[in-house]
Chain A
């Protein structure tokens, strides 16, 4: 369990993380989603105490990270590939980290095998590819067999087999009741792995909750309406709930009301409809609309990308 309250990080006049609140629950994979520079890495560094918050608190299992008695068995963190001295071999790097908690060489060899580093464990990290560095970072995170995993962009630089491994690992660890918190800037990547989503944009949480809910909230279904009476229909539909775009004479796209509502309204007004098609948004669209302008949609979990205005052009 990771809990943040009013967590804030400012660098000079720039606010990287702006008073965010969130809870990451055990037994689930929580995806931390946001564009580059949205504050994901800063937030993760604050969780493990590398960066001090300007304001607010963040705790792991109810305690600040720095107060944990044995941090490596509580939290495993991959914060960036190659947070490693390049002159040391992978095995020696892991041995040195393990030694801080008295974890033996047997466990070191285990995580080396798990991460698929067996063949290169005695080579110096200097020659590692990005993917190998990533595997080493994940191996380090697993050393203490921790209750909580924090992985910043874990599939970055991995080959398809490695990506599949990380996904399987995350789900497996969550199924064992552990807390798994992983970040990504790609919605498609997180959507297949995560149970919950935490979406951050410009340092603020723009959405959080189960993946399906976040996506359906963020994805507005547009209805294509083709009718000889398109202008009159647009006027009848106009209201605070609807956004209407005139695509071409006789064709409008309506966001807000469902296809059924539009059909019923058309029938009641005796307008002829030639087409009535709901068009669902994609994952990526949902993500883009969530994060495109984080300032406008900063109102937490209630954020929806539907602007509550009617466009007057549609009525002409």
Chain B
């Protein structure tokens, strides 16, 4: 390129700093933070997630304002859940893509060779990237959830959360928690599969298609499978008891998992896939 300035090789430039330079977990975390925010796709995805969550809440509130009758349970966890439920699905789908891309994008572009030359132990990168993804996903989903509730409450006063409802805190915090953990499922799968298209197809195909289909088929042995499907199980943490009982009736389950037990199942999936990714990372070439 003709825009290059003249390269130089003076002595002073080589005997530069680097005396205190040292690889550390904290430094790797900083590196991953810089990496995430120096890609335009990150801003786009984060913005899109908040926008989708708020739009869906607005749609639910507007729908309730024109048709619904919420006078029997104003501000209950069940009412608030109807505002947040669509966002739980779409929010996690968008953030799953962001989470998967942070790792598959490295393999797809060759960046991973620069990364692992700087951090040859490799595992610190997996943890640091996962931590950054989790933080960004949680804050994004939490901001989206808060804005959703504020907007819905402004349109329909009955939708304002009544914090005396014992389930309210679990539903409101469970929503970003569930979205974040599904995003981490995509991250773990991306670290294992190392391919963007395969990862996104697998995680979205599984969450959207496979789990729904398995919940529809009334074949007896599936009762033992349904409670342990990652997304359905994890969503229980952000679902009020009333809706959980409805779900159990529609798709019978051999075990009735509590909301937190269901969330633990989702976490178990993430941990298991991450473990497989760790094995591949340690033993395979890049």
Where the two chains meet, the residues of A that have a C-beta atom closer than 8 Å to any C-beta of B are 45, 48-52, 65-66, 68-73, 77, 79-80, 82-89, 92-93, 95-97, 99-104, 106-107, 110, 113-120, 128-129, 131-132, 135, 140, 142-145, 161-162, 165, 168-169, 172-173, 176
Chain B residues, CB < 8 A from A129? 1
A204 to B113: give the CA distance in the assembly, Å. 25
A106 to B34: give the CA distance in the assembly, Å. 16
The chain A residue sitting closest to B37, CB to CB, is A92
| B7 interfacial by beta-carbon distance below 8 Å | yes
Across the interface, do A87 and B41 meet the contact criterion of CB distance under 8 Å?
Answer: yes
Across the interface, do A144 and B13 meet the contact criterion of CB distance under 8 Å?
Answer: no
11 contacts between A and B (CB under 8 A): A50-B285, A66-B120, A70-B21, A82-B109, A83-B111, A88-B38, A96-B34, A99-B27, A99-B30, A107-B18, A172-B11
The smallest beta-carbon distance between B36 and chain A, in angstroms, is 9
| B280 interfacial by beta-carbon distance below 8 Å | no
Chain B residues, CB < 8 A from A80? 110, 113
A178 to B128: give the CA distance in the assembly, Å. 32
The smallest beta-carbon distance between B103 and chain A, in angstroms, is 12
Q: Contacts A51-B285, A144-B18 given: A85-B106 contact, CB under 8 Å?
A: yes
Across the interface, do A99 and B34 meet the contact criterion of CB distance under 8 Å?
Answer: yes
Where the two chains meet, the residues of B that have a C-beta atom closer than 8 Å to any C-beta of A are 1, 3-9, 11, 13-18, 20-24, 27-28, 30-32, 34-35, 38-41, 105-106, 109-121, 283-286
A173 to B11: give the CA distance in the assembly, Å. 9
Across the interface, do B39 and A100 meet the contact criterion of CB distance under 8 Å?
Answer: no
Across the interface, do B18 and A52 meet the contact criterion of CB distance under 8 Å?
Answer: no
Q: Contacts A131-B1, A144-B21 given: A114-B38 contact, CB under 8 Å?
A: no
A114 to B5: give the CA distance in the assembly, Å. 9
Across the interface, do B31 and A97 meet the contact criterion of CB distance under 8 Å?
Answer: yes
Across the interface, do A95 and B113 meet the contact criterion of CB distance under 8 Å?
Answer: no
Across the interface, do A132 and B4 meet the contact criterion of CB distance under 8 Å?
Answer: yes
The smallest beta-carbon distance between B110 and chain A, in angstroms, is 4
Chain B residues, CB < 8 A from A144? 18, 21
A118 to B113: give the CA distance in the assembly, Å. 24
The smallest beta-carbon distance between B2 and chain A, in angstroms, is 9
Chain A residues, CB < 8 A from B35? 85, 88, 92, 96
Across the interface, do A99 and B106 meet the contact criterion of CB distance under 8 Å?
Answer: no
Across the interface, do B116 and A69 meet the contact criterion of CB distance under 8 Å?
Answer: no
The smallest beta-carbon distance between A46 and chain B, in angstroms, is 9
The smallest beta-carbon distance between B31 and chain A, in angstroms, is 4
Selected from B4, B28, B34, B285, the residue in CB contact (under 8 A) with A95 is: B34
Selected from B14, B31, B109, the residue in CB contact (under 8 A) with A172 is: B14
The smallest beta-carbon distance between A292 and chain B, in angstroms, is 30
Across the interface, do B111 and A85 meet the contact criterion of CB distance under 8 Å?
Answer: yes
Selected from A79, A93, A100, the residue in CB contact (under 8 A) with B23 is: A100
Selected from A79, A85, A92, A119, the residue in CB contact (under 8 A) with B4 is: A119
A104 to B27: give the CA distance in the assembly, Å. 11
Across the interface, do B8 and A113 meet the contact criterion of CB distance under 8 Å?
Answer: yes
Across the interface, do B110 and A71 meet the contact criterion of CB distance under 8 Å?
Answer: no
The smallest beta-carbon distance between B120 and chain A, in angstroms, is 4
A62 to B100: give the CA distance in the assembly, Å. 38
Across the interface, do A119 and B23 meet the contact criterion of CB distance under 8 Å?
Answer: no
